[in-house]
Structure formats: C-alpha cells, structure tokens
A and B are shown apart, each in its own frame.
Chain A
Amino acid sequence: MSIEETVPKEVERKSISRLTKFKEFLLLLLHYKTSCVGLLIVISITIIAIFAPIIAPKHFAEIDVPNRLQPPSLTYLFGTDVLGRDVFSRVVYGAQIALWVGLLVVLVEASVGITLGVIAGHYNGKIDKIISAIADIVWSFPPVVLALGVVTILGAGITQVVIAIALTSWPAFTRVTRAKVQSLVNREFVLAARAIGESDLNIMLRYLLPNVTSTNLVIATLTLPAAILSTTALSFLGFGAQPPTPDWGAILSDGASQLVIAPWIATFPGIFIVITALGFNLLGDGLRDLLDPKLRI
C-alpha cells in the first residue's frame, strides 16, 4: 500500500517543483526589475566599449575642420566639435576609456582596501585601530581635493588620476572587509584552523579572504560608478586624459567652452556618464539585496 502511494507523490512533486522553480525565477526577476535594467545597461555599455572601433564610424581623433561645430545629423549622429571630430565616435571610444579606467581604479582600491581590511579585522588591537583611524580620515577627506593634491604632485595624466582616485576610496573596501572578517574570526571553522596550527597568513588567505568575496563584489559594483564619475571629473578639469584622448570628461570640458554655440558636445557624453553610472548603481543595489542585505558603506 505504501509503495503505491509514494510513487505518484514523487512524480507529482517533481513536476510541481519544475514549475515552481521557473515561477520562482520569474518572480525573482520581477522583484529585481530595476537591477535587471541595470544589468542590461552594463552589458550594453560593455559591448559598446569592446566593439568601439566597429561601432564608431570615424576614429576619435579624425579631424574634419570644414564641418566643425555641426549639429547632430545623419553622418554625425551627435554633431561635431571644434575641430570637426565626430562627437558620436568620440563618445563611443570614451566608453572604452571609462570602463577601462574605472576597472583599474576599482582593482587598485580593492587590492589595497581588502588587504588592509583583512589585516585589521584579523589582528584587532593596535594595528586595527591605526588602520581604522587612517581609513576614517581618508574616507572623510573630500576625494576631489585629495585627487587634485596628488595630481599636483605627480602631474596630469590618466595613470596619475587612477592612483589619485584609488587613494581616496579604498576605505570603502577596508571598512566592509574588516567588519565581515571580525564576524568570521570567531566562527568555528576559523578557530578550528587555528587549533590545527595554521599560520596567520594562511588563515587570512584561505579562510577569511574567500568569504569576503561576495560582499566585496557588491562594493566593487557600487564603487565603479563613483570611480567613473571622479575620473571624468578630473578629466573635465583638465588633469586627467590628455587630448586627443576622448575621455568623457574631456569631451565635456571641450563642450563647456562651446556650450551655447554647440550644446550637443557637452550634452551627449554626460548622458552616457549618467546612464553608465546609473546602470552600475542599480545593478549594485540588486546585488546587495541578493548577497548581503545588511550592507552599508
């Protein structure tokens, strides 16, 4: 009696589960609709960045002086700038720069920040206090000013800007990592590792580091748009990318001087910056809800 009963139940359960799993997925998608929009934006911008040479009709430095300061048209989708360069092409190439630079900044920040965070959380005591104090002060210092200061010393240029911006925002990673590590340090698997006699370095590398990955992924996704905003700001002020590099901020700076005559030069790169930053922010918010809802910078 029991066997005959259980078999149909198993079959029922399987088909129900397949349907409900799909339903669950759809519900999840709906729940995170804004972050899905974010993901779409991120993917689109990445594609644009990767395939920039193919998408852009002209090279970003190609000059066409007779056609300078033309409003948007079919040949020049976003119009032309002072030197007759195609704004559309420049913006498309600008995506490459924005993402590339942004990624670099985040990588540097993350390496410095996570390392310090793991050390601070693991060791506690004086080292922790020093690192935390430095992190707090650096974090509360206005990033623009700090970046300008670094640029003053090191000179202008993309590399310098990357270093400058990275120096301002690493505390975000440190804080979060430190908190996570502190919550992990007293858990059984770490205590067990210590009992076996694992070295501190090993514990940090093999036990603590992997567990902070998901949290830091969220932070990285949310720091990237800030990095893009900051780097383009510095380029706007003239300290970042040098001409003719089509960094979005640099294009904007060109557009600022021609604002009334040729507003399209300044408008379009800005729109792209907003959309890109928005995309990453929405995606980051969704990731945070998914992976670590209690997170706060």
Chain B
Amino acid sequence: MSALLRYAMKKVLIGIPVVFFVSLSLFLLMKMMPMDPIKLIASERVTPQRIEELRRSWGLDQPIYVQYFYWLSHTMVGDFGYSIVTRLPVSLQIWSRLPFTLELTLTSLALSYVLGIPIGVMAALKRGTFLDSTTMTMATFFYSMPTYWLGLMLMLIFGSYLRWFPISGSLGFESMILPTVTLTLPYVAMSARIVRTEMLDVLTEDYVRTAWAKGLPSRRVILRHALRNALIPLTVMFFLDLPWIIGGAVIVETVFAWPGMGRLLYKSILKQDYPVVQAIVLIIAILTVVCNILGDIISAILDPRIRVEKGA
C-alpha cells in the first residue's frame, strides 16, 4: 500500500471522530438554546396535555444521550426534521437552495484564484517596482471593503443608474454577475497578496537558483520550478477557503436576494426557525472538517515530502 494511500486513510480516520465531536457539540449547544420547540409550534390554545403528548412523540422527554442517538441516526440519513415556519422537511428546503449557493461560491472561488494567481505571480516577479506596490495597495484596498457595502454600491451603480444588470433574484445568467463580482473581488485581492508572498518565498529558494544555473528558460523556471512549489500551500488554501466563501455568501445572498442556503440561514434565524438553522450550521461544520481533510490529502499528493515524514 503506497505511502500516500496510508496517509489519506489516516487523515480520514482521524476525521470521523472529529465529525462526531462537532455534531455532538452542535447538538448540545442546540439543547442549551433558551426555547422550547414544542411551544413554538403549538399555539396558545393547545392544552398542556397535548403539549406533553407532542413532547413525548418527539422524544424530548428522554435522557440526553438517547435524544442524541435519535438525532444522529436521523441526521446521518439526511433527515433534519421539519421547519417550524414552513412545516416542510428541512432537507427539502436545503437541497433546493444548495445548488444556488454552490453555483455562486464555486464560481467566485474559482475566479478568485484564476485571477489572483497571475496577478500575484506578476507582482512577485516585478517586486519592488511601481507596478508591484500599486497592485498590492489596490489589493489591500479591495480586501478592506465590506462585502455588503460593495454589493450595495454595485447594485446602485450597475443596477439602478446604468441598468446593466438585474439586482435581485436569480433570473438567468445576468443576475449572477453582480453577486459573483461582489463575492469575488475581496477574495481576488486576498489571493493575489498570498500568491505574491508565496512566490517571493519560493523564488528566493536555492533550488530556483539551481534551475537558473542550469540555463533553463525563464518560463520553465518560473512556472515549473517556482510556481509548482508555491502552488502547494495555495491549493490547500483553496480548499480551506471554501467554507469561508460560503460564509461570505450568506451576506451576498441576503443583499442580492439570491435564493441560496445563506439567505435561508439568515431568514431562519430571524424567524427563529431553529431546525433549519441547526441543519445548515451542521452541514457547514461537516463541510469544514471535510475540506480540512481534503486539504491535508491534497498537500500530500502535491508535496512528496509530507508522505514520508508523517507515519510512513
């Protein structure tokens, strides 16, 4: 069995208890919430007896670990219970919204790196020049911008005044442009900065000097020797950025009324629709752990050193 496979399996094995731990913490936190779900659903006219009946049918009178077991077994098959507000299954609501969120976030993430890497590499190569400092200052500028404000400003300029793009909803491709730009811009800035830092680091490494000393053409040295090494931490960062960008999507979706999971989360919190909130947070938490594991495995694939160091 190759070292890589062993390493991957080790990471997954460690990941499973982490996922359980996270779900347990979420469950306990939920239990700490100052509300009684039954009282929320039932109106005032319901008798206390009926309330007790409901409580028993939901299993809320059982000890905590039993409740956890029930909850866990339901969650693992994707049954997140029912929304307090809509009475629909939570899973239905989430699955219908998930594609929208993924569409937005994955596009933004991909764009940020596709744009950020060339910018960062160029800034690193032209280090110390006017171009470099201008680009980096601009990057800091966009990176200091609150996404919701950027969204509103873009809406104002392009949606209202210029009437180029629609400002809300999800009618076709055009309506995705403004939200995507809003979400992408700060991330492009951030990734450009990081790419530049990583490239600068790598370019000063001895092995790059060796590559130059062999008389290899610049493109080969920069792309194959330098960038390839710089991409290792960058790829890991790509995976770790995914949960982050979903978080950013919450705000963007709200501003642009984009029917995704983030907007659902926001509205559910306002309406105190706790089953939905809990389900979404749980999904994001698991996604985070999975991305962490994926990031580790990817870095082992890209960097041969890691496979040997840890538990060969």
What is the CA–CA distance of A149 and B223 in the complex, to the nearest angstrom? 43
Contact between A252 and B250, CB atoms less than 8 A apart: no
Stretch at the interface among B64-72, B89-97, B141-149, B214-222: B141-149
Contact residues of A between 33 and 47, Cβ < 8 Å to B = 34
Contact between A141 and B284, CB atoms less than 8 A apart: yes
Chain A: interface residue count, which band?
35 or more
Contact residues of A between 135 and 165, Cβ < 8 Å to B = 136-137, 140-145, 148-149, 151-153
Would you give the 0/1 interface string for A231-259, flagging 1 where the beta carbon is closer than 8 Å to chain B?
01100111100000000010010011001
Contact between A266 and B152, CB atoms less than 8 A apart: yes
Partner of A267, one of B148, B153, B251, B254: B153
Q: How many residues of chain B are within 8 Å of chain A by beta carbon?
A: 48
Report how many A-B pairs have Cβ atoms within 8 Å: 123
What is the CA–CA distance of A148 and B133 in the complex, to the nearest angstrom? 36
| Least Cβ–Cβ distance between B95 and chain A, in angstroms | 18
Q: Is B300 an interface residue, CB under 8 A from the partner?
A: no
With contacts A252-B148, A263-B156, A285-B140 known, what are 17 further pairs, Cβ within 8 A?
Answer: A34-B133, A137-B288, A140-B243, A141-B285, A141-B288, A142-B247, A152-B33, A152-B269, A233-B147, A233-B148, A249-B146, A256-B255, A266-B156, A269-B149, A270-B149, A273-B146, A281-B140
Contact between B281 and A145, CB atoms less than 8 A apart: yes
Would you give the 0/1 interface string for B106-144, flagging 1 where the beta carbon is closer than 8 Å to chain A?
000000000000000000000000000100010011011
| Least Cβ–Cβ distance between B100 and chain A, in angstroms | 17
Contact between B246 and A145, CB atoms less than 8 A apart: yes
Given A152-B33, A266-B152, residue A143 in contact with residue B247 (CB < 8 A) = yes
Q: Is A79 an interface residue, CB under 8 A from the partner?
A: no
| Least Cβ–Cβ distance between A22 and chain B, in angstroms | 24
Q: Is A203 an interface residue, CB under 8 A from the partner?
A: no
What is the CA–CA distance of A152 and B266 in the complex, to the nearest angstrom? 10
Identity of the chain A residue whose Cβ is nearest the Cβ of B239 in the assembled complex: A140
Would you give the 0/1 interface string for B12-44, flagging 1 where the beta carbon is closer than 8 Å to chain A?
000000100010000001001110000000000
**Interface of chain A, helix or strand or loop or mixed?**
helix
Contact between B140 and A237, CB atoms less than 8 A apart: no
Contact residues of B between 230 and 256, Cβ < 8 Å to A = 240, 243-248, 250-251, 254-255
Contact between A274 and B149, CB atoms less than 8 A apart: yes
Q: Give every chain B residue within 8 A of A239 (Cβ-Cβ).
A: 269
Would you give the 0/1 interface string for B264-290, flagging 1 where the beta carbon is closer than 8 Å to chain A?
011001100010010011001100110
Identity of the chain A residue whose Cβ is nearest the Cβ of B140 in the assembled complex: A281
Identity of the chain A residue whose Cβ is nearest the Cβ of B194 in the assembled complex: A296
Q: Is B155 an interface residue, CB under 8 A from the partner?
A: yes
Could you write out 25 A-B pairs with CB less than 8 Å apart? Answer: A137-B289, A140-B244, A140-B291, A142-B243, A142-B244, A142-B250, A142-B284, A143-B244, A144-B247, A148-B266, A149-B29, A153-B33, A229-B144, A237-B251, A238-B270, A260-B156, A266-B156, A269-B149, A274-B141, A274-B144, A274-B145, A281-B144, A282-B137, A282-B140, A296-B197
Q: Give every chain A residue within 8 A of B155 (Cβ-Cβ).
A: 259
What is the CA–CA distance of A156 and B34 in the complex, to the nearest angstrom? 13
Contact residues of A between 195 and 237, Cβ < 8 Å to B = 225, 229, 232-233, 236-237
Which 8 A-B pairs rank lowest in CB-CB distance, beginning with the nearest?
Answer: A142-B247, A270-B149, A277-B144, A144-B247, A278-B144, A140-B240, A142-B243, A141-B288
